[in-house]
Amino acid sequence: MKISNSLLQRLNAIPNRFCACRNLQQAPRKFFSGLSYSVLENSSNDPPILMAHGVLGNKNNFNSVSKKLAQSTGRSVITYDARNHGKSPHFDQMTLLDMSNDATKLLDLLNIEKCVFVGHSMGARTAMFTALTQPSRIDKLVVVDSSPRLSNVKGGGATTLHYLKAMRAIVFDCSGSLSNARRNADKQLQEFIPESSLRQFILTNVEEKEPGLYGWRVNLDAIYEHIEKPRHIRLADDMRPYSGDTLFLGGGSSQFLRMDDYPYIKYLFPNCVISYVPECGHWVHSEKPVEFLSSVTSFLKPPKSFCLFEENTT
C-alpha cells in the first residue's frame, strides 16, 4: 500500500463548484445525515459522475482529477466523504450496505435518478455493491484498482489493519500547533510505517479537535472493524449480475485486480472491460492522472472510441 510522492502534491484543495467549466467558486454542501460532499456543476444533461474515495482518504483526494474529469466529459461531478472519513460524522456501523445507502440517499437529495459511479478501493467496493443491489441508479460503473473478490495481497486488508493498529497507538502531544502534532505522530509512526509518503498521507487525518487537543479525524474503531471482517461481494437470492457498461481500471504494478479474479468479475459484471495503466500502483487517479482521465473519458464515449491499455498478463 505504497503511495507516490506525487499523490501528496495533489491533495491541496481547489474550488469545489463550477458552472459550464468556467466560473469556479467554492461551494461544499452537506446532506441529511451530515455527510460532507461537493458538487462541480456542469451544463450537460448526461448522468453526473459520483466519485467515492478509498480507506483513510476523503473527497479532497479527487480535487484535481474531478475538475479535469468534469471539463473533459462535460458532466457534473460529485465527490463526498464516506462515513467515518473526512468531515463526515462517525457511525459505529460501516457495512457496504450502509455506505451504498449513503450514496443513493445523496443522489436522492440532489434529485439525481442515476449516475456514473466511479469508486477507488473501498469506494469501488461501495460502487460495485450499489450496482448489484440498486442497478437502476447506475448508468455506468468504473471500478478503480479493486475486485469483488478479496485477495491476500501486499497492501490489502492485513496491511491496512497494520496501519490502523499503528494509528491507534499514537499518543498526541496536546501542546503546540497542528504541525507539531503531526510531526510528533510522524516520529511515532516511523517504526511501523517506513514509507514517508504513506505516513504523510495518513497524517492528513490529524486534526485539532478542540483548542490544543489533537487526534485522528477518522473513526479508527469503525474502520478497523470494517476491514477486519471483509467479505467477497456475492449475489443474494434477490440480486442479479449488473448488466450495465463497466470499466475495471487497475494499476499495472498493483495486485488488487488480478487475472485469477476475471471469471468472477465477468460473472457479476458481464458487460465489463478490464484495463490497466502501465507502471502504476494502487492510486491510479493520483499516480497517473492523465492516463486515468483518458481511460474514463474514453469509456464514457461511444464504444468505438474507447482505447484500452494492455491487460496485465503477469
Task: Give the pLDDT confidence of 16-25 residue by residue, as tens digits.
Answer: 322 223 233 3
| pLDDT of the residue at 156 | 55
Grid cell 490502523 is found at 164
Grid cell 497507538 is found at 169
Distance separating alpha carbons of residues 28 and 171, to the nearest angstrom: 32
For the whole model, what pTM was predicted? 0.84
* Among candidate residues 53, 77, 47, 62, the one with its CA nearest the CA of residue 12: 62
CA angle 58, 196, 57 (to 5 degrees): 10
Of 36, 76, 100, 121, which is the active-site residue?
121
For the chain, list residues with pLDDT below 70. Answer: 1-33, 151-158, 175, 302-314
| pLDDT of the residue at 303 | 54
Give 193's Cβ-side CA count (13 Å radius): 29
285 is an active site residue: no
| pLDDT of the residue at 40 | 96
| pLDDT of the residue at 171 | 94
| pLDDT of the residue at 146 | 95
| pLDDT of the residue at 26 | 35
Of 221, 253, 294, 298, which is the active-site residue?
221
Which CATH fold would you assign to the domain 5-154+233-305? Rossmann fold (3.40.50)
Across the strands, what pairs with 39? 78
What distance, in Å, lies between the first and last C-alpha atoms of the chain?
A: 19
121 is an active site residue: yes
**Residue 128 DSSP class:** H
Of 53, 226, 282, 285, which is the active-site residue?
282
Report CA-CA distances (Å) from 98 to 12, 83, 251.
Answer: 29, 9, 28
| pLDDT of the residue at 312 | 45
* Among candidate residues 109, 102, 137, 139, the one with its CA nearest the CA of residue 123: 102
Q: What share of the chain is helix, strand, coil (3-state, %, to 5)?
A: 40, 20, 45
Exposed / middle / buried, residue 87 (Cβ in 10 Å: 0-12, 13-18, 19+): middle
| pLDDT of the residue at 236 | 86
Provide the residue ranges of all domains of the chain, joining segments of one domain with +: 5-154+233-305, 157-226
| pLDDT of the residue at 6 | 39
Distance separating alpha carbons of residues 153 and 159, to the nearest angstrom: 9
| pLDDT of the residue at 10 | 34
Distance separating alpha carbons of residues 129 and 222, to the nearest angstrom: 19
> In this structure, what is the dihedral angle of CA atoms 63, 309, 100, 301, given to the nearest 10 degrees?
80
221 is an active site residue: yes
Distance separating alpha carbons of residues 277 and 282, to the nearest angstrom: 10
Buried b / exposed e over 21-38, threshold 16 CB at 10 Å, is beeeeeebbbbeeebbbb
| pLDDT of the residue at 180 | 92
